[in-house]
A and B are shown apart, each in its own frame.
Chain A
Amino acid sequence: MTALTKSEMAERLFEELGLNKREAKEIVELFFEEIRASLEGNEQVKLSGFGNFDLRDKSQRPGRNPKTGEEIPISARRVVTFRPGQKLKARVEEYAGTESQ
């Protein structure tokens, strides 16, 4: 199955809400950009019914170059995690697909 992309989201805003194509495309871009900007500023994003984008700070840990076996530390970093909300989890659980993705 093909994946949902920004252009299909914009298409739906055009069809269902009557935004013109330029506006629809801009709103979809802004939707993802504003979420990124919030996370970049270390602020979690909570979208009720869908889920939360949280931030976790990881301290430096030892790692290894898998090719050479050489030890190199993995630097401290901040990562984004997504916790799906109850409503989304319930809707997805009902999916009885046979292919795992």
Chain B
Amino acid sequence: MTKSELIDAIAASQAQLSLKDVELAVKTILEHMSEALASGERIEIRGFGSFSLHYREPRRGRNPKTGDTVDLTGKYVPHFKPGKELRERVNLGLQAGR
């Protein structure tokens, strides 16, 4: 499912808002989530999961083209931990043979 298919699915599940409004809402939600993570804030959605940042230590890497070593600084990467309901439903999907 892509972002535009998600927008279509949400629009079809409710009666009040136009497709355009749902599209704006989805983009606003994703921007809000990205902003939160970019400012070091966690996201916690019960039944879905949580997003947080994990720290990667500085390391010495290599340019794969030239073979030169490069010093890479430490950085943060986004991490997602699925919540209980999501884990259970995805597993039920497996048991149902999907």
Interface residues of A (CB under 8 A from B): 1-6, 8-9, 12-13, 16-17, 19, 23-24, 26-28, 30-51, 53, 55, 57, 76-82, 84, 87-89, 91-95, 97, 99-101
* A1-B40 contact, Cβ under 8 Å, with A26-B14, A97-B76: yes
Counting residue pairs across A and B whose Cβ atoms lie within 8 Å, the total is 179
Cβ contact of A9, chosen from B29, B80, B92, cutoff 8 A: B29
Using A1-B41, A78-B91 as known contacts, list a sample of 7 further A-B pairs with CB atoms less than 8 Å apart, ordered by residue number in A. Answer: A28-B29, A31-B29, A38-B1, A46-B3, A51-B80, A79-B82, A101-B42
Contact B38 A32 (CB under 8 A): no
* A34-B9 contact, Cβ under 8 Å, with A50-B34, A92-B38, A101-B42: yes
Contact B3 A91 (CB under 8 A): no
Q: Which residues of B are found within 8 Å of A92, using beta-carbon distances?
A: 37-38, 53, 76-78
Complex Cα distance A99/B3, Å? 32
Cβ distance B57 to chain A, nearest Cβ, rounded Å: 10
- From residue 12 to 61 of chain B, which have CB atoms closer than 8 A to chain A? 13-14, 16-17, 21-22, 24-26, 28-30, 32-34, 36-55
Q: Which residues of B are found within 8 Å of A51, using beta-carbon distances?
A: 78, 80
Complex Cα distance A31/B7, Å? 8
Cβ distance B87 to chain A, nearest Cβ, rounded Å: 7
| Residue B67 lies at the interface, judged by CB distance under 8 Å to chain A | no
